[in-house]
Amino acid sequence: MKLALVQINPVIGDFTQNIKRITECLDAARRNGCDLAVFPELAVSGYPPQDYLEHEAFLKRQDEALLSLKKESSGIGLLCGAITRHTGATGKPLHNSALLFENGKLIFSTHKRLLPTYDVFDESRYFEASSSNLVCAYKGLNLGITICEDIFNDEDSFPHPLYQANPVADLKQAGMDLLINIAASPYNMGKQQIRLSIFSDLCRKYQTPLLYINQVGGQDSVLFDGASLVLDKNGALCMQARSFQEDMLIVDTEKLRPDATIKENNETALVHQALAMGCRDYIKKCGFSKVLLGLSGGIDSALTCAIACEALGPENVMGVALPSPYTSNESIEDAGSLAQNLGIRFEIMPISDTFASFRTSLSPLFTGLAEDVTEQNIQARIRGTLLMAMANKFNALLLSTGNKSEMAVGYCTLYGDMCGALSVLSDVPKQLVYDLSRYVNRHVEIIPVRTIEKPPSAELAPDQKDQDDLPPYEVLDPILQAYLEEHLAIDAIVDMGFDRNIVEDTVRRIKRNEYKRQQAAMGLKVTSKAFGFGRRYPIAQRFME
């Protein structure tokens, strides 16, 4: 059989445009002589629709879109993910389904069996799980059609499976010749190699080729990487679609051959692509085209700016330096050099007079009290207010520039540098910020070398440096990874060789600043556990490991 595996970037609820894109790709598959075109999980509505699944108007629009799509299946099979109604007497009202159309008729349907409820997933909130799988006899092959999580539960890959059912094993027992998985599987660092390893093991175990079709695009904080795969029955990689871009693979099941020329993707490059795509999709899917941000002369704002230019083009990015009495001349110069290298609009708006006015207003109450973090936060909040005003006036979205290391320990100012519609780096640890900045400069200097090499500083007090208040980032970042992503207790992290006092202080800061993060701008997820959508902790609590 000849198939087209089509990874598309749908917009949730834009049924007209989603159907138009599916139809365009279906026409291309037909021109390539394909028997079947396969699209990702919930391709009609976009994934994840979340509580729109509780709106009857949303469901009716999807049903209407499906009717129009069914008519487009003349002369070719169309397999895609969609929402269907659960007709049983009990259970959730909907299914997450895969539907196969041909010549205007629905000839096969199946429903997702394994509904994830961890991290960013919450599918059992809306969907009823299928109790069984059936193979689909089509064009001389028995197709085992699965949906995303359905192939992530084999006991050989997962020593403690999350679910009792193993859909792949059941389909093989039912006579499956070809395993197809339509997915909306989010990206995080290392995920592509993890998928490939799991899929290779499945193919070898069941001696069955696998076609994996993944959604691509940014959906709020969640980033889908595409990178659809074709593996032969021995688990060898035969084809791989592009990462973070729409793509189509044309596959002949009679001619599956391992392709040794496919190289493992560089992870730093993948993170850069992920952040640029996430920034672009969030801005554009929300109906905007322009962004602005504060340029401090530091590495975080420089990297954020470079990514924004990659995503939207320099003509749609504005940088503003807002120097205070403690801002060095070098920082203003570095911000200007970055703006010139990128070709963006750049403005300088000093805040010293505004800061002085605040101090004068507060002096009757603050007389006799020493200056402390209060005065530092005032500067950050002045900047946040001015940047938000410019964003309003210019119909642009403000980008927040803080990184994950800062966000974790609260080294940021609520209603100050945390202001913004999108936090591009909030899931990027500081050491990765440096790696990404060097990647941006791989061909030509864009981020000034001095920005990368100088000690990081908020410049909110005389001679201030981050490491006056924080451990070195090469110490802090692995502690944060161990605690936030690996869920290790304090004793276990100390056993890794870290100083107990530093570990305990870091964990204390993480807990104390939960309230800040729950008010922060949405961030783009690139690690296995990001702040926001997939991380849920109480603010009022007294637990200490």
Q: Which residues are catalytic?
A: 41, 112, 148
CA distance 9 to 311: 15
- Pinpoint the alpha helices (H) of 286-403: 299-312, 329-342, 352-366, 373-394
The structure tokens listed for 383 are 């900047």
H or E segment at 177? Answer: none
Nearest alpha-carbon partner for 22 in 2, 46, 58: 46
C-beta of residue 125 within 8 angstroms of C-beta of residue 96: no
Angle at 311 between CA 219 and CA 243, to 5 degrees: 60
CA distance 336 to 340: 6
- In angstroms, the Cα distances linking 526 to 9, 88, 221, 505 are 18, 39, 9, 26
CA distance 419 to 424: 12
Distance of CA 186 to the CA centre of its chain: 6
| Count of other CB atoms within 10 angstroms of residue 14 | 16
- Amino acid, single-letter form, for residue 355: F
Residue 167, phi then psi, degrees to nearest 5? -60, -35
CA distance 182 to 179: 10
Strand partners, 138: 141
CA distance 417 to 385: 10
